[in-house]
Chains A and B, each alone.
Chain A
Amino acid sequence: MTFLNSLELLAFHNVAYTIYALLIIAIIAWFGYNLTRKEVAKPLVRIPFYVFIAFLVAAGVGHHIFTYNVVPWVAQDIMRESIKPDQVYKVVIEKHQFQLPSEKLVVECGQKILFDVTSKDLVYGFGLFRKNGTMVTQMQVNPGSKNTILWTFHDEGVFDLMSTEYSGPKGNGMFVPNIMEVRGCKTTLSQGGSK
């Protein structure tokens, strides 16, 4: 399994976690019901202690390994210093304003884009969103440190820019609609559809 974009990942995650949530509630409810009874219902499976612990370890560690390999952007993010991007966009944020290299950033499908964002005063967030409000990617922007994120866009669409970190009440208005356009992809998941 691989996820092409965050939308697919989140949809999968939504289903998986909902199933887990219902399961754990059901288990505790079943447990509580049997606590009060003399005659105990037979559990479907008997899980020995060590299996349970092994499961927790596997779940904790496995979750990271699983997402590392199936989510395309983790490896790229870690190696970003040594990867040559197709485009570099330098963005400066000051006084709750995004200063962008141009009015609209147009990208060809599959290009590796490096966003290099600098804050001159407060901690901000740099987040790209689809037109339906779902998040494509984000990072924190700290003043005084280098904030870069390397991203490959796999689906066509127009994206909005928003600060994802609170920078005082004034930060609430940090919204730049239609800042990016990705062209030339076969998929248009960004418009809110799913596979």
Chain B
Amino acid sequence: MSFMHDLIHGADNQFDHLSLNALQKATLRAVVVSFLFYGLAALEGMIMRAASINPSIPPVNGSVDHYFSIMTVHPIVGIFGSTYQLVFAAFLFLVPFLTKKPLYSIKVANATWILITIGTIMSWLASFVYNYAPLYTLYWPLPADTTQFKAIGGVMFIVGVALIMVGTLLFIYNIYATVFSKVGVHQNKTTKELLISGFGIDGMLNLFNKLTGKQPYSKEPALSLPVVAIFRGTVDTFLDALVILSAGVLVLVYLLADMGGVKLDVASIDALLYKNWFWWGLDLVADGLVLIYVAGSWYLLATLITGQKLFMENVARAALMLELLVSWMVWSHHLLADQGQPEMMKLISGEMVTAFELLTQGLALFITLVTLWKARPLKMTMELKYLLGGLIGFGLAVPAGIIQADMAMNRVLHNTQWIIGAHVHIAIIVGLYMTLYSAVYVLWPLVTNNAKLWSTKLANAHFWLHLIGGIGMGAFMGMAGLDGMLRRHLYFNGEYNLFMILSAICGTMLLVAWLLFLFNVIMSVGLKGLIGIFLPSKNKASSYGIEPANA
């Protein structure tokens, strides 16, 4: 087929948006928007990479206001606009797919991606138009500092974030309602049975009974392991949404009062207490969500790729429970440089419990690797390649984080490029995104009704550019951090130029990788198909692969 034909109609005419049901469309819509936001985040990243080499390069033009407003929206666009959308889309499809039940509500699923999209754009505009730039950390009283920022910009930003959180709560509601609905295979289950399975308690009881020589508690758990991981991670998503919303309300009260001519005293809120509360919630996004969702996704991908049962499944179930509890108790590692923070809190929560993540994540890595190994020989498919890439990402990023979560190292690493490069960017770009790409390739035929991938060569180029670019960028930023380069600072005299140039080259590879991926997807589904995804679907079914009688 010709190039123009594929561009308009998709590769070999194999993608037909009219054949998609409501669930497939809701999923694909969020996926498309997610990748557009990823591109925006990558562009912002490149602008910052360029500015860190030469601040007077446009569009920053040597303006710190501009630079930090980009830095403020970058994680909002990247984390919420892109990864949240992608993860939520995948899970809204997977929960019905895995439980063989219809999704609770397609309307709510659509509301989720629309709210997150509008919220992200609003926050982005607040920074773009008004240069509102308190960074995502919102350290009190900075977000309410109207001597530096216009109140209107702040209101817009916070309302945007609030919309994202409302969309998140709707996602959670949809997932819970689907998991606990007593239809299909769960027709005869009680809520108690589903809850016990959801929290992994059956896994623990099975282990306990095995050790004491009793019969297993349940041979067939009510919920499959990936569903348990999704359910468990969603508990953290719920808590973090509440914390971020509460912080947002606080900031809004101050900003609105200011606009109404009333000056509220910022000192009446304790800055350190606020930091603790905020990080407790924000950390659930990172240490809670990423680790639980990602572990769950690895298990799912390993079982789907090999077509076999997960190795040590009961241990995995129990470990997910452990990870949940650990994720609630580790936030203090963000306050190791705060001398007002009680030392005991730093020592126990910040150091010791945090170090436990090495164990839970190591366990997930081990279980995934052994599951793959037992199914040898495997074909090196795209999804397997990306899964291995994801494992490398977390293999690198988790220890990098643990090094930082150490009272001795933190003294010289806190707020340096080490944390944002070697830990955060490698965790997200290499660890999380490669895992998500693996899921995209696994789900591709299911969600698109077997659309043909336009080019495997492009897919491979994307893989290598993304992997090398991601690791390289994080590594060079990390090395600059070891040399004292701060993460939230614009340098004007080319202080760390060698590392910044190297990391910008790797950043460019990431951007090119994304362009190749986007191009490949557009050529696969065609422009007509791409638009069709956003048109209402004729088939209102909200499930996949189930006979209507069952649903």
Binding site for B on A (CB under 8 A): 6, 9-10, 13-14, 17, 20-21, 24-25, 28, 31-32, 34-38, 40, 49, 52-53, 56-57, 59-61, 63-64, 67-68, 71, 73-74, 77-78, 121-123, 125, 127, 129-130, 133-140, 142-149, 162, 164-170, 172
Contacts and interface: CB of A to CB of B under 8 A. Distances in A.
Contacts of A17: 399-400, 403, 422
Contact of A28 (B149, B395, B406, B416): B395
A121 B388 CA distance: 48
11 contacts: A13-B403, A56-B358, A77-B407, A123-B271, A125-B337, A139-B337, A139-B338, A143-B271, A144-B270, A146-B340, A169-B148
B496 A73 contact: no
A49 B411 contact: no
Given A13-B482, A74-B408, A134-B483, A168 B149 contact: yes
A35 B412 contact: no
A164 B412 CA distance: 11
B355 A60 contact: yes
B392 interface: yes
Interface of B is mostly: helix
A21 B366 contact: no
Contact of B339 (A6, A139, A162): A139
A42 to B, nearest CB: 14
B482 A123 contact: no
A6 B411 contact: yes
A80 B47 CA distance: 43
Contact of B337 (A35, A71, A122, A140): A140
B338 A133 contact: no
B256 interface: no
Nearest to A146: B340
Contacts of A144: 267, 270-272
B391 A28 contact: yes
Given A13-B403, A31-B388, A133-B484, A170 B415 contact: no
A121 B146 CA distance: 12
A38 B267 CA distance: 68
A35 B351 contact: no
B372 to A, nearest CB: 6
B376 interface: yes
A35 B380 contact: yes
A183 to B, nearest CB: 23
B141 interface: yes
A172 B64 contact: yes
Interface residues of B, number: 79
Contacts of B131: 169
Interface in B10-24: none
A13 B272 contact: no
A74 B407 contact: yes
B492 to A, nearest CB: 9
Given A13-B482, A37-B377, A146-B340, A67 B392 contact: no
Interface stretch (B113-121, B132-140, B169-177, B238-246): B132-140
B415 A165 contact: yes
Contact of A56 (B359, B422, B496): B359
Given A17-B422, A123-B142, A146-B339, 17 more contacts: A24-B395, A24-B396, A32-B385, A35-B373, A36-B377, A36-B379, A59-B399, A60-B356, A60-B402, A78-B407, A134-B483, A135-B416, A138-B414, A139-B339, A142-B272, A145-B339, A169-B65
Interface string B358-382: 1100110010010011001111100
B53 to A, nearest CB: 15
A64 B407 contact: yes
Contacts of A168: 68, 133-134, 142, 145, 148-149
B383 to A, nearest CB: 13
